[in-house]
Amino acid sequence: MSVPRFWRKQIARYNLVGTYCKTCEEYFYPPRNVCPSCRREGEIGEFKFNGNGELVTYTVIHAAAEGFEGQTPYVLGIVQLEEGPRLTSQIVGDPKEMHIGLKVRPVFRRLGQSGERGMIYYGTKYVPA
């Protein structure tokens, strides 16, 4: 991913900042500019999530995505935050200890690097709470 493309959403990635719609009282992560539920009727503002959540589903990836070859097997999961929105994240921990419903909490981690000398991406991963 290009540096500007990553940089633009850095605050959201580092701090789990999304949006809240006052009209329908829904929370969104990643942040939305238009409410997907009430569209232009929506009144959107920033919201910082505490990040705690639970594992909705997960997989253990053995055939890695490009750039993740050194990390297999790694756990990829969908986490539901306490306020409702869900996100996709790596779950750090023993694949055997993963289960649907597992309580998880966010940690700040290195996500990857673009090439050998490229930018290092940081962001949020999850660990069992």
Partner 1 sequence: MREVAIIGVKNTLFGEQWDRSFRDLVVEAGVGAVEDAGVAGEKIDSMFVGNMSGGQFVEQEHIGALIADYSGLAKNLHVPSTRVEAACASGGLALRQAICAVASGMDDIVIAAGVEKMTDVPASKASSALAAAADREWEGIMGATFPGLYAMIARLHMHRYGTTSEQLAEVAVKNHFNGQFNPIAQYRNTITVDAVLNSIMVADPLRIFDCSPITDGASAVILAPADIAHEYTDTPIYVKGTGQASDTIALHDRRDITTLEASVVAGRRAYEMAGLGPKDIDLVEVHDCFTIAEICAIEDLGFAKKGEGGKVTQQGETAIGARIPVNTSGGLKACGHPVGATGIKQAVEIVQQLRGEAGKRQVDGAEIGMTHNVGGSGATAVVHIFSRNR
Instruction: Report the C-alpha gap between 106 and 125 in whole angstroms.
Output: 6
β-bridge partners, 109: 123
CB of 32 to partner 1, least distance (A): 10
CB of 115 to partner 1, least distance (A): 14
Taking CB under 8 A as the rule, which mask of x and - marks residues 19-48 in contact with partner 1?
-----------x-----x------------
DSSP string, 67-84: T-GGG-SEEEEEEEETTS
Structure tokens that stand for 91 in this block: 């779950």
DSSP string, 101-128: T-EEEEEEEEEEESSSSSPEEEEEEEEE
Nearer to Zn ion by Cβ, of 19 and 124: the residue is 19
Taking CB under 5 A as the rule, which mask of x and - marks residues 5-34 in contact with Zn ion?
----------------x-xx----------
Residue 8's alpha-carbon distances to 1, 41, 45, in angstroms, are 12, 26, 17
CB of 91 to partner 1, least distance (A): 10
Task: State the residues that interact with partner 1 by CB under 8 A.
Answer: 1, 5-6, 9, 30, 36, 56-68, 71, 73-74, 76-78, 85-90, 95, 100, 111-112, 121, 123
